[in-house]
């Protein structure tokens, strides 16, 4: 195996271990020792790949964003170019919900980073803001595709509505994590959100 690939595989093993440690005991339980033990490698090897705890925390945060982004892109490619703005945004939002173990792990890790950034632990807030800004832009781009014919009152404001949609979806996702509501209810809330912003779905709007 080429050295670069090996390097990436090893980094991935470590960031995956960080995620599991966070899910098991919170960000405060993350140390070189606990991550090495979880990954089944030596502390020295973790230190070789990541010189500081901050480095592997940043890499873990980045890995969650990369995974979520790749999953979004896969889901969108399955939709195809004919998908309506509503179908695209629904796909975005449902992929963000913690509906399976993988997404639940991601949501817990992101929530832990969010809480820690506010209280001086973990990584700084600046480094966690890029992803929401990209998502708002993606959603706003879809909302701009909605024609005047489809728009409900009040008139569409793509940037503001995209902010609202992302904030609401984040609230729905985080609210689901402690067991407040089922997966079905979370999906229903996402549908309701889009009913409220884009108008109720009708058979003619998806073509």
| Number of Cβ within a 10 Å radius of residue 77 | 9
Q: How far is Cα 191 from Cα 33, in angstroms, rounded to an integer?
A: 44
Q: Which of 75, 111, 138, 151 binds a copy of itself (CB under 8 A)?
A: 111
Q: Which is nearer to a copy of itself, 63 or 128 (CB)?
A: 128
Number of residues written out for the chain: 207
CB nearer a copy of itself, residue 79 or residue 124: 124
Q: How far is the CB of 144 from a copy of itself (least distance, A)?
A: 17
Footprint (CB under 8 A) of a copy of itself, residues 36-95 = none
Position among 33, 132, 137, 183 found at the interface with a copy of itself (CB under 8 A): 132
Distance between CA atoms of residues 86 and 203, nearest Å: 12
Please report, as residue ranges, which positions from 135 to 194 form the binding site for a copy of itself (by CB under 8 A). 152-154, 157, 160-161, 163-164, 166-172, 174-175, 177-181, 185, 188-189, 192-193
CA dist., res. 196 & res. 198, Å (int): 6
Q: Which one, 36 or 156, has the nearer CB to a copy of itself?
A: 156
Q: Which of 10, 13, 26, 72 binds a copy of itself (CB under 8 A)?
A: 26
| Residue of 65, 71, 145, 196 interacting with a copy of itself (CB under 8 A) | 196
116 binds a copy of itself per the rule CB under 8 A: yes
Which spans of this chain sit near a copy of itself (rule: CB under 8 A)? Answer: 22-29, 108, 111-112, 114-121, 125, 128-129, 132, 152-154, 157, 160-161, 163-164, 166-172, 174-175, 177-181, 185, 188-189, 192-193, 195-197, 199-200
């Amino acid at each position: 195996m080429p050295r670069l690939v090996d390097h990436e595989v090893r980094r991935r093993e470590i960031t995956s271990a960080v995620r599991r440690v966070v899910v098991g005991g919170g960000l405060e339980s993350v140390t070189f020792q606990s991550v090495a033990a979880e990954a089944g490698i030596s502390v020295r090897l973790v230190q070789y790949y990541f010189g500081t705890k901050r480095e592997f925390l940043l890499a873990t945060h980045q890995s969650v964003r990369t995974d979520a982004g790749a999953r979004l892109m896969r889901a969108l490619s399955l939709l195809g170019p004919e998908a309506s703005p509503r179908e695209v945004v629904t796909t975005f939002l449902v992929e963000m919900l913690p509906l399976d173990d993988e997404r639940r792990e991601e949501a817990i890790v992101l929530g832990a980073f969010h809480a820690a950034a506010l209280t001086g632990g973990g990584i700084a807030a600046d480094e966690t803001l890029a992803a929401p800004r990209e998502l708002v832009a993606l959603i706003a781009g879809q909302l701009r595709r909605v024609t005047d014919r489809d728009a409900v009152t009040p008139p569409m404001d793509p940037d503001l509505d995209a902010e609202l949609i992302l904030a609401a979806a984040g609230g729905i996702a985080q609210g689901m994590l402690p067991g407040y509501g089922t997966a079905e209810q979370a999906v229903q809330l996402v549908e309701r959100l889009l009913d409220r912003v884009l108008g109720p779905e009708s058979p003619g709007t998806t073509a």
